[in-house]
């Protein structure tokens, strides 16, 4: 059978398609005199999914790291507590020697109180401590005997300022840093 677009195949007459031969339109069916659609090839078998094993592996790694972190934290916590206690005791002894010329009992500030009588003197007028009117009012209240004003002045004043220095002496009543809170002098 002759087809106008049939390729020239060796062993056939030019312009003809051999039986069962391929054309751009499918397989040539000589009985029908036209090309017939090529049946679709079977679908390839589905490859096994790799998403689930990868997710399980990632989840296992995350769980393992989390477990290692928790165990590490528990192991190191006890050691850190011991180091912190030793450092605190050493600092307390060093401060006691610097401030008092001797050691201060362990737990000096732990109870919040002053260990025994503190040497006090008459208050000193604040003078010119800085330009802040609110802090000046706290300083004046501290001088006038309102020891809560001394503590408020300490909390509100800038670090290393004259306001802070005045507050640490409770208005000139005690040596600097003798008491943790001026209200404990009442």
What average pLDDT does this structure show over 126-154? 95
Of 179, 34, 65, 67, give the one whose Cα is nearest residue 120: 179
Residue 35: strand, helix, or coil: strand
Whether the predicted pLDDT of 109 surpasses 70: no
What is the structure's pLDDT at 23? 55
Whether pLDDT at 162 is above 90: yes
Residue 99 has pLDDT above 50, yes or no: yes
Task: Look over the chain and give the mean of its residue pLDDT values, rounded to a whole number.
Answer: 76
pLDDT at 110: 42
Given this model, what pLDDT does residue 21 score? 55
The structural domains of the chain, with segments of one domain joined by +, span 1-37, 74-108, 133-185
163 with 152: CB under 8 angstroms? no
What does the pLDDT average to over 99-107? Answer: 53
What's CA 117's distance to the chain center, in Å? 46
Which pLDDT tens digit goes with each residue over 5-61? 555 545 545 455 555 555 555 666 666 666 666 666 677 776 666 666 777 788 888
Q: Is 116 left (phi over 0), alpha (psi -120 to 50) or beta?
A: left
Please report the beta strands in the chain, taking only residues with DSSP state E, as ranges in sequence order. 22-23, 26-29, 34-36
* CA angle centred on 22, ends 20 and 27, rounded to 5°: 60
**82 or 61: whose pLDDT is higher?**
61
Q: Residue 92: pLDDT above 90?
A: no
* The pLDDT value given to residue 72: 82
Taking the CA atoms of 157, 161, 163 and 165 in sequence, report the sign of the dihedral they define: positive
Paired tokens of 45: 């078998």
Please report the pLDDT score of residue 18 as a whole number.
Answer: 53
Crossing angle of helices 147-156/133-143, nearest 10°? Answer: 150
Q: Which H or E element spans position 67?
A: helix 51-100
Residue written as token pair 């180091």:
83
Average pLDDT (91-112) is: 57
| pLDDT level of residue 118 (50, 70, 90 thresholds) | confident
Looking at residue 107, its pLDDT comes to 43
Q: Which residues of 80-107 are buried (b: 16+ CB within 10 A; e: fewer)?
A: eeeeeeeeeeeebeeebeeeeeeebeee
Q: Read off the pLDDT band of 106 (50, 70, 90).
A: very low
pLDDT above 50 for 108: no
C-alpha torsion 74→78→83→87, nearest 10:
110
């Amino acid at each position: 059978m002759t087809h106008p677009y049939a390729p020239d195949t060796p062993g056939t007459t030019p312009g003809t398609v051999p039986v069962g031969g391929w054309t751009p339109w499918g397989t040539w069916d000589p009985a029908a005199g036209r090309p017939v659609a090529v049946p679709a090839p079977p679908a390839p078998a589905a490859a096994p999914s790799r998403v689930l094993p990868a997710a399980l592996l990632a989840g296992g790694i995350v769980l393992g790291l989390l477990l290692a972190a928790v165990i590490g934290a528990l192991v190191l916590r006890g050691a850190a507590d011991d180091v912190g206690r030793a450092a605190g005791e050493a600092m307390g002894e060093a401060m006691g020697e610097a401030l008092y010329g001797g050691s201060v009992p362990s737990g000096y500030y732990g109870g919040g109180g002053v260990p025994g009588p503190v040497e006090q003197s008459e208050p000193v007028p604040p003078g010119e401590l800085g330009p802040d009117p609110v802090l000046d009012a706290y300083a004046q209240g501290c001088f006038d005997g309102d020891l809560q004003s001394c503590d408020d002045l300490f909390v509100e004043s800038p670090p290393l300022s004259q306001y802070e220095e005045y507050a640490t002496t409770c208005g000139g009543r005690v040596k600097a840093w003798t008491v943790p809170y001026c209200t404990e002098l009442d």
